Structure 1
Amino acid sequence: MHIELTAPDGATATLSLHGGHVLSWRPAGAGEQLYLSPRSEYVPGKAIRGGVPVCFPQFAERGPLPKHGFARTLPWELVSQEQGKDDALAVMRLRDNDETRRLWPHAFELELSVRVGGRSLDVELACDNLGDAPLQFTAALHTYLRVADLDAVSVEGLAGLRYFDSIKQAEALQRMDLLLTGEKGVLDLDRIYFGVKERPLLVTEDRRQVAVRQQGFEDAVVWNPGPERCAKLADMPPEGWSEMLCVEAACIGRPVELQAGESWVGRQSLALL
């Protein structure tokens, strides 16, 4: 089921209860800012390709669970939906059930709050430990930004950070801004930047700029499959890699640990400048 959010100024977001997923973001007076694969399958148990998938309680294959955990493939429930004077807001919820406890034996509640208005989109993920034992998790908001020409894209704000290159399986230091030049090897990009915390990132393509800010999330992931890997993804068109760049708020390096009754909140805010 899809949920349409429309702010009074015309800004819109589309959400899916399948996976608690943001599918679309159109700021006031502007076009679509997220990439959604035309080959996505909206079927139970399968993740939607594009938009903003929720990775929880495990990032990628860094653990024993299915890739990126189970939150992005399960049905969520709509808690609330409202229009304010400046924005529109919806809250979706996922609670533990027999299926999740078989994979991950914890009592929890996740809430995803999505707020759209003006030229910004705020996506907030909250986790409550409802059990009587500690739990720990890694997580990400796996945001696919739409781009027209990947060769014209740069990401500012990462300089000086250490990152783990998941392709080369090695750590390295980001010495300057990230320029996506379309050369083979540069584009097969899968990096976890550690210690980003609240430093703002700026994704620039020609005259279009999207500011990316995060709170509660320590790390950030920058991902593009490049042409060869993209060709192997059944739910992506072969040229889809050239139309997207993932910039993801994440907690990976240090898993979040919650004692019984504790809560955690992380947010990613996108603004079209």
Structure 2
Amino acid sequence: MLFLSNKAVFKPPKAIRGGIPICFPQFGGFGPLSQHGFCRNSDFELVDGGSTSVTLSMRTTEEQLKLFPHRFELRVTISIGDEELEQTLEARNSGDEPFELTAALHTYIAVSSIEKAHVVGLKGVEYMDSLQDKKRLTEQGDSITFSEELDRIYLSTPDTLEVVDEGKKRAIQIEKEGFPDAVVWNPWIKKAAGMADFGDDEYKEMVCLEPAVAGSGPVALQPGKTWRAKQTLSVRQF
């Protein structure tokens, strides 16, 4: 159900091109850090695990504190069922000062063909167009289809969204909690050709639909407090 590029690089500090990279403590350029923060290419340690679930943890290192001077622990719990995947983020401010965060679960959905895929659930929602310097527009269509590069941050979105794949006669549904926004992305031809870790034609095989804290504003996390958010992916056949 998830896309992984055939050219993905499994070597730190490169982020993996596919799956569900974790954008934290910053999404995109919403802050002083480099694109999407540093958690997606940081080491996590195993905290707990079983036959269908795993919990991983990372704590800020001294090197990371030079970039982002706030201590935190980020825990990720993933549970897998027959037809669903649940992913929970828990970020605890372990420092003495409050800090602001943005975040996303950069979910790469595999599709049969980009021409047969569309995203539903966002009609009438305001969005920031990242290809037009974050110009604010309103989604007019019943569904979002793809015929060129698309990179949008939808604001204050419904908590249930779908990538519908007519080719495979299925929809991947995302139910989200704690993420007000959603990002829709496909790099299309030119950008795909410019990425060394992405096949030239692989844009035809994926859609990113990402629950996020982004354009609606950051979360302020007080010392000792924990921010929690999650997504549940499930499959609907039709």
Question: Which range, TM-score by smaller chain?
Answer: over 0.9
Q: Which residue does 2:144 correspond to in 1?
A: 179
Aligned twin of 1:89: 53
Q: 1:202 to 1:264 in 2, by over 3 A?
A: same
Paired residue for 1:76?
44
For residues 68-217 of structure 1, the aligned pairs below 5 Å read: 68-83=36-51, 88-169=52-133, 170-182=135-147, 187-198=148-159, 200-206=160-166, 207-217=169-179
Whether contact under 8 Å (1:196, 1:219) holds in the other structure is: yes
CA drift at 1:197: 5.0
Which position in structure 2 is the counterpart of 1:221? 183
Distance 1:181 1:55, change over 3 A: closer
Aligned length: 232
Give me the whole-angstrom Cα distance separating, in 1, the residues matched to 2:213 and 2:173.
Answer: 20
Structure 2: distance between partners of 1:82 and 1:54: 22
Shift of 1:161: 0.5
Quick one: which amino acid aligns to residue 195 of structure 1? S
Q: Deviations for 1:31-90, whole angstroms, at most 9, x for unmatched residues?
A: xx111011111112111101000001111122221111000111110111113xxxx110
The equivalent of 1:5 in structure 2 is none
Residues 209/109 of structure 1: CA separation in 2 closer, same or farther (3 Å cut): same
Instruction: State the Cα distance separating 1:118 from its structure 2 match.
Output: 1.7
Q: Which of these residues, 220, 231, 238, is aligned with residue 268 of structure 1?
A: 231
Matched, 1:243 2:209: no
Cα RMSD between the aligned structures?
1.0
Between the aligned residues of both structures, percent identity stands at: 39
Q: Does 1:258 align with 2:218?
A: no
- Once the 2 structures are TM-superposed, how far is the Cα of residue 160 of structure 1 from its aligned partner? 1.1
Relative to structure 1, is the Cα distance of residues 82 and 265 closer, same or farther in structure 2, using a 3 angstrom cutoff?
same
Q: Secondary structure at the match of 2:192?
A: helix
Q: Which runs of 5+ in 2 are unaligned?
A: none
Counterparts in 2 of 1:98 and 1:81: CA distance versus 1, 3 Å? same
Shift of 1:100: 1.3
CA distance in 2, matches of 1:202, 1:55: 21
**CA contact 2:122–2:158 (8 Å) conserved in 1:** no
Task: Give the deviation of 1:193 after TM superposition.
Answer: 0.3
Give the partner amino acid of 1:260. Answer: P
**Where do 5+ consecutive residues of structure 1 fail to align?**
1-32
2:93 and 2:127 map into 1 onto residues whose CA distance is: 30
Between the two structures, name the one with larger relative contact order (CA 8 Å, sep ≥ 6): 2
Q: TM-score, with normalisation over the residues of structure 2?
A: 0.95
Rounded to whole Å, the distance in 1 between the matches of 2:101 and 2:222 is 12
Please give the per-residue CA displacement for 1:185-240, whole angstroms capped at 9, x wherever unaligned. xx210000000152x11211111111111000110000000111110011001001
How far apart are the structure 1 equivalents of 2:140 and 2:86? Answer: 29
Q: Runs in 1 of length 4+ with deviation above 6 angstroms?
A: none
CA distance in 2, matches of 1:70, 1:57: 7
TM-score normalised by L of structure 1: 0.83
Could you say what secondary structure the match of 1:100 adopts?
A: helix
